[in-house]
Structure 1
Amino acid sequence: MKRARIAHEGRALWVEVVEDGEVLRLPDGGSVKAADAVWLPPVTPGATIFALGLNYADHNKELGFQSKEPPLVFLKGPNTLSGHNGTTLRPTDANQMHPECELVAVIGKPARSVSVVRALDHVSGYTIACDYAVREYLENYYRPNARVKNRDGATPLGPWVMDAADIADPQALALRTTVNGKTVQDGSTADMVMSVAGLISYLSATMTLMPGDLILTGTPQGVYYCEAGDRIVCEIEGIGRLSNRLVGDKAA
């Protein structure tokens, strides 16, 4: 099952996605066409958002780093998120702004010091993130500062959450990013340095993961700089396609 979060008649609602993503079924039994929906990030308010850097072997090689564990972990604020079919501001001085397609694990039940073997039992579903980075703002690969990874609306999320039961193996999913139809990222979750289960075990050894918490698991190789007006689509096999458009300062 797919679950999305939309704005409808002044309220934020969780809805069921049916008919191959064309229709959104409301809690009261009514429906809205997906094309007419105002999509919100499919996240529970108050959730902790974990993000990973340098967690794909091919991307690490691309950047000149050796893959290693433990991974680079940082947190993101709630204002960084935006919904499917939304827009993201491209600052005028961001000549090296590029999209990063990421598998996102959604925690479904509390996890504290869980083993790798049992870790996926704590996942309720998966979604997609497009975690934009601005290379000019990067001070240190091991310290992603707020200007790079905590910009308002610079992490589109969605379009929906796919139930974990519908994803047989989160380490065998193809990821792809296109810019105006051109493929700029083409990878697989099999290339993760630390698996989804490994990340949950690692993070839960430090703090309790709670229902609704999100883990952005990193991105494969493919650094492509985008311009205002570009349409970016991040796609993950078995989950869906997340669309976003970059706009310039004056258009935001």
Structure 2
Amino acid sequence: MKLLRYGPAGAERPALLEQDGTVRDLSEIIADVDATSVTPEVLSRIADRDPKTLPVVAQPGRIGPCIDGVGKFICIGLNYIDHARETGNEAPIEPVVFMKATSAIVGPDDDIVQPRGSTKLDWEVELGVVIGTKAKYVAEDRALAHVAGYFLANDVSERAFQTEGTGQWTKGKSCDTFGPIGPWLVTADEISDPQNLRLWLEVDGVRRQDGTTANMIFSVARIVSYLSGLMTLHPGDVIITGTPAGVGQGMKPPVYLRPGQIVTLGIEGLGEQHQTVVADAT
């Protein structure tokens, strides 16, 4: 299934996308796409309902973040060897973990707002994972059973904030609008192999990233297992799993985003995002 949320920011409604592109409102079954509705029991209840019996959403308008009420927004850095090398790093020997503020989350086509003082605004297409069942000390061969589904993410980054000051990467990863997710939460049964998905990103129509999740250093299963040994993962927690080569920081010379530019990205089977970069007007 492809689950989504539509409507104005803060007032989104849950919906289902049929194979023919019809959007069906899910409000009769769930209040929202959130931690309470990504469990196996609720997903099964949605799947058992004949979508033809649900109201059609003729004009969904804005598409919101594909899940609401995210508990933890966990990120994996340097998880593609080509990306690690383009940024001057060696391949990590274990997953590099950092957090992104949940207040950074926005819809897939919402604007990217360049914050005050930003000079090195960058892009990163990533595969996202939604946890569906509690996971603690999970073996790698059982880790994917705890995944409710997958989504497309742009790990927007401000490189000067991230690496040129003191402290952790979180500072350059957590600004408002730095976490576009969606358009859909695609349930795990539709993704036969998360390590065989093409992902790409363009800036103003120029292809900057073009890779495959087959080149991850640490697989989704390995990441979920590893994280479950550090912290308990709960339904509604999300993980983004790293980006392939082609970020602005890695170009020679580096190239960064400017207001007015358009960022387009996608992952096979998970849809596309389209964002306009704007200056912070507050």
User: TM-score, normalising length from structure 1?
Assistant: 0.91
Point out where structure 1 has 5 or more consecutive residues left out of the alignment.
none
Letter in 1 for 2:15: V
Tell me the amino acid that sits aligned with residue 61 of structure 2: A
Give the corresponding residue for 1:5: 5
**Offset of residue 91 of structure 1:** 3.3
Task: Answer whether contact 2:4 2:67 (CA < 8 A) is retained.
Answer: no
Taking structure 1 as reference, are residues 200 and 143 closer, same or farther at Cα in structure 2, changes over 3 Å only? Answer: farther
TM superposition shift of 1:143:
5.6
Q: Name the count of aligned residue pairs.
A: 249
Structure 2 counterpart of 1:30: 55
1:132 aligned to 2:156? yes
Matched to 1:134, the amino acid is E
Instruction: Judge conservation of contact 2:115–2:280 (CA < 8 Å) in 1.
Output: yes
Q: Which one of the candidate residues 172, 175, 194 is aligned to 1:151?
A: 175
Pair 1:107 & 2:138 matched: no
Secondary structure of the 2:200 match is strand
More strand by share: 1
The structural deviation recorded for 1:236 is: 0.6
Match of 2:49 in 1: none
Distance 1:223 1:243, change over 3 A: same
The gaps in structure 2 that reach 5 residues or longer are 29-53, 249-255
Query: Aligned in 2, Cα 1:140/1:238: closer, same or farther, shift over 3 Å?
Result: same
Conserved 8 A contact 2:141-2:221: yes
Matched with 1:53 is 77
Residue in structure 1 matched with residue 203 of structure 2 by the alignment? 179
CA contact (8 A) 2:162 2:170 kept: no
Please state how far the C-alpha of 1:168 moved relative to its aligned partner. 1.0
Counterpart of 1:30, as a letter, is: P
Q: Confirm or deny: 8 A CA contact 1:69 1:194 kept in the other structure.
A: no
Indicate if the aligned counterparts of 1:2 and 1:17 stay in contact, CA closer than 8 A. Answer: yes
CA-atom RMSD in angstroms: 2.2
SS at match of 1:234: strand
CA contact (8 A) 2:98 2:170 kept: no
Distance in 2 between residues matched to 1:188 and 1:42, nearest whole Å? 22
Task: Give the Cα–Cα distance (whole angstroms) in 1 for the partners of residues 267 and 9 of structure 2.
Answer: 31
Q: Indicate the structure (1 or 2) with the bigger Cα radius of gyration.
A: 2
Cα distance change of structure 1 residues 237 and 145 upon mapping to structure 2, 3 Å threshold: same
